[in-house]
């Protein structure tokens, strides 16, 4: 099996196709396999790299809790790219993976040619913060005490997951099956040390305003915890577009793979042509121009 060495863990990865590199960073409830629809479509013209986060076999599952967290997750993206001798890549993240992708971009913007942040921002609202952390710790206990399969069944019928079940029952079954195969320890430590302890997106406002690389924020319109954070990123990142997918929940790449894939292809094309530009300063002004004004 191919592994990339990282600080405290070996990271399993897969490398498919040729062309400009794209690295996909999975969410908490997923793993490298849930990017399959993206890899099949995009590897026709891009080099697609998927990997499993630390704590997700066949990547290593460190037993030391200090080996988990958002900084480690961001560094692991760089470790995979370093191992493959890739200096710069398009980076696509979903949820927890989007958070790590954003931190990676903030730490090493020269290594990111285009940034896609999907389903990002759960737990960022100040009113939800304590409840989000408590929920992550409670879910960690379920993984440890009842196992991954039991935890997966509960996650699968959450408020932002039932959309996938309703749209694609076979895809939902596969999602729950994959999640049920995860390491209880790795999942629990990820919840306790990464999910529950990460700063909110709003803590990054100042550096976000200085991050000028092309970005695309994607959110399902029924992914309530991520709607406001997605708007915040649109308004804060100077070169960000926002795509809201209708009647969609959290796992937008699984729910609407064709729409998701086309959005990536269109966005990468803009970025590679240098046509993904910062927002026109006039777009921050009043909606109606004064009488007699000129374009």
Q: Where are the domains of the chain?
A: 3-124+200-279
Q: Which of the four CATH numbers 3.40.50.1820, 1.20.1050.10, 3.30.450.90, 3.65.10.10 does domain 3-124+200-279 have?
A: 3.40.50.1820
Report how far residue 293's alpha carbon sits from residue 295's, in angstroms, rounded to the nearest whole number: 7
- Scan for tokens 């592994």, then name that residue: 3
- Is this model's pTM higher than 0.85 or not? yes
Rounded to the nearest 10 degrees, what angle do helices 70-83 and 96-107 cross at?
A: 70
What values do phi and psi take at 220, rounded to 5? -75, 145
Structure tokens that stand for 88 in this block:
């710069």
Residue pLDDT tens, the chain, 295 long: 899 999 999 999 999 999 999 999 999 999 999 999 999 999 999 999 999 999 999 999 999 999 999 999 999 999 999 999 999 999 999 999 999 999 999 999 999 999 999 999 999 987 778 899 999 999 999 999 999 999 999 999 999 999 999 999 999 999 999 999 999 999 999 999 999 999 999 999 999 999 999 999 999 999 999 999 999 999 999 999 999 999 999 999 999 999 999 999 999 999 999 998 888 888 887 876 655 555 5
- Scan for tokens 């900084």, then name that residue: 71
Report how far residue 222's alpha carbon sits from residue 26's, in angstroms, rounded to the nearest whole number: 20
């Amino acid at each position: 099996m191919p592994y990339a060495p990282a600080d405290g863990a070996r990271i399993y990865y897969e490398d498919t196709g040729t062309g400009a590199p794209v690295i996909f960073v999975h969410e908490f409830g997923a793993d490298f396999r849930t990017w399959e629809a993206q890899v099949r479509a995009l590897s026709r013209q891009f080099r697609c790299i998927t990997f499993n986060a630390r704590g997700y076999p066949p990547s290593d599952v460190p037993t030391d809790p200090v080996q988990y967290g958002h900084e480690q997750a961001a560094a692991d993206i760089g470790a995979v790219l370093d191992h493959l001798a890739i200096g710069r890549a398009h980076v696509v993240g979903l949820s927890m993976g989007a958070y790590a992708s954003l931190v990676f971009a903030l730490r090493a913007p020269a290594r990111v040619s285009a940034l896609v942040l999907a389903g990002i921002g759960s737990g960022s609202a100040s009113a939800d913060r304590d409840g989000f952390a408590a929920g992550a710790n409670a879910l960690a206990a379920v993984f440890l005490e009842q196992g991954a399969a039991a935890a997966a069944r509960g996650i699968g019928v959450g408020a932002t997951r039932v959309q996938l079940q309703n749209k694609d029952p076979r895809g939902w079954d596969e999602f729950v099956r994959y999640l049920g195969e995860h390491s209880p320890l790795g999942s629990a430590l990820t919840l306790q040390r990464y999910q529950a302890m990460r700063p909110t997106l709003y803590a990054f406002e100042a550096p976000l305003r200085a991050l000028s690389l092309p970005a695309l924020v994607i959110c399902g319109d029924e992914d309530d915890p991520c709607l406001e954070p997605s708007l915040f990123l649109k308004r804060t990142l100077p070169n960000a577009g926002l795509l809201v997918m209708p009647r969609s929940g959290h796992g937008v790449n699984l729910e609407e793979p064709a729409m998701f894939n086309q959005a990536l292809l269109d966005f990468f094309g803009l970025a590679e042509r240098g046509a993904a530009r910062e927002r026109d300063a006039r777009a921050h002004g009043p909606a109606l121009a004064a009488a007699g004004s000129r374009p």
